[in-house]
A = this chain, B = another copy of it.
Amino acid sequence: MSKAESVTAAVVVIGDEILSGRTKDTNSGHIAETLTGLGIDLKEVRVVADDQAAIVEAVNALRARVTYVFTCGGIGPTHDDITADAVAAAFGVGIDHDPRAIAMLQERFPNPADLNEGRLRMARIPVGADLIANSVSKAPGFRLDNVFVMAGVPSIMKAMLSVVAPQLRSGVKLESETVRADAKEGDIAIPLAAVQKAHPQVAIGSYPFVEGDRFNTNIVLRSRNVEALAAARAALEAMLSELR
C-alpha cells in the first residue's frame, strides 16, 4: 500500500470534566487500540472544553487532514451537551429532531411522559447525518461525512465504536514487536540509532520503564512489511547480545 492510500484518524475528546482532571479519559486509549488493530494510523488526539468555538475549531482542523475523525462526549440530554450543535455548525448544516432517532428513543422510553423535552434533545441530529446505533441506552450517535460523533460514557462509546468499526476502510495492519532490552536507554541509544538507520522501513521506538529502582527499556519495532520487521528484529537482538 502506498503512503497515499494510508488510512488516518484523529480523536476529539469533548468535556470540561476531562480538562479539570475530575474524570480521566480512557476513551481515546480504547479508540487508539481499536484503530491500530484495523491498520488505521491515529495521528492526533485533542481534548477540548464544552465550548462551541473550541469544538468547531478542532473538528474542522482535523477532518480536513485525516480520513476519519471520532468525537467522544457531549451528546446527552443536558444543557452542557452541545456536541451535536457544534458539529452541525462546523459543517454549516442545520440540526433538528430526527424521526429515526426519536424512534430509537421510543424503544427505551415507550411511555410518552418519559420521553420528555430533555431526552428529546438527544434526537437532535445534524441534517444529512447517518445514525450510529447505541445498544446500551438507545440514544444514537451519528456520522456526518468523515466525522463520527459518539458518547462519552465509556460503555456506550465502546458499543458505538463496535458498530462503526466495520464501516471503516481499514489499512494494512502495522505489525509490532516488543523486545525487552534489559539495559538502560542511555547504554543502547547510539547502537540503536544505527539499527534504525539501517532499517528505514521499520519505526523503532524506545520506551524506558522503572522496575523496582532500576531503569529498563522496551524497544518497539513497527512496520507494515513483515520481512523488514524480522530483519530489524534480528539486527536489534544481535546488537543487544553484543552489549551483554
Contacts of A30 in B (CB 8 A): 21
Q: Which residues of B contact A233 (CB under 8 A)?
A: none
Q: Are A220 and B22 in contact (CB under 8 A)?
A: yes
- The answer on a CB contact under 8 Å between A20 and B49 is no
Inter-chain contact B19/A42, CB cutoff 8 Å: yes
Asked if A189 contacts B21 (CB within 8 A), the reply is no
Query: How many identical chains are in the complex?
Result: 2
A70 to B: closest C-beta gap in Å: 13
Q: Say if the beta carbon of A121 comes within 8 Å of chain B.
A: yes
Q: Is A186 an interface residue (CB 8 A)?
A: yes
Top 6 closest A-B pairs, CB basis?
Answer: A118-B189, A21-B32, A21-B33, A78-B206, A45-B47, A79-B193
A and B contact pairs by CB, cutoff 8 A, 27 listed: A19-B32, A19-B42, A19-B43, A20-B33, A20-B36, A20-B174, A20-B176, A21-B29, A21-B42, A22-B36, A43-B48, A44-B46, A44-B49, A45-B46, A76-B189, A76-B206, A77-B186, A78-B206, A79-B189, A79-B192, A80-B204, A116-B190, A117-B190, A118-B185, A118-B189, A118-B190, A153-B209
